[in-house]
Amino acid sequence: SGTTGVPPPASTASATGTSQVPDQSDKIGSSDGTQKPPPESKKFNINTLKKDEAITELKKAIALLNKKDTDMQIINAQYSKLNQEKSNLEDNLIRLSNIKDQACNDIQDFTAKQIAL
């Protein structure tokens, strides 16, 4: 008595599957080397999403993943550049050390010649 077999309205559907989708996907990460905190996540009931809303949420998630991929590529390029600069500095340090050693040898030779005179 009283049950018609009709499912409850979407607004009361049970949360059998929930998902978190950032609502500020355009503001996550940055290409200028600064870090931004992750956005507040919103939870929604996957059972209540309409097809268009679900597609929109998926597109946001894909855009976020693409942004993260781009950010990682930028970070990797910066890391490679820093490693190259480090290598150049190490090479310069070795050259300076060699020049210093040669200058010390030249001074010792000059001093020895001065003493001999």
Q: Are 60 and 25 in contact (CB under 8 A)?
A: yes
Q: Are 48 and 9 in contact (CB under 8 A)?
A: no
pLDDT on residue 51: 83
pLDDT on residue 36: 60
What's this model's pTM, rounded to 2 decimal places?
0.45
pLDDT on residue 53: 85
pLDDT on residue 34: 56
pLDDT on residue 32: 53
List average pLDDT for each run of 10 residues in the chain, which is 117 residues long.
Answer: 49 44 47 56 67 89 96 97 98 97 95 89
pLDDT on residue 64: 96
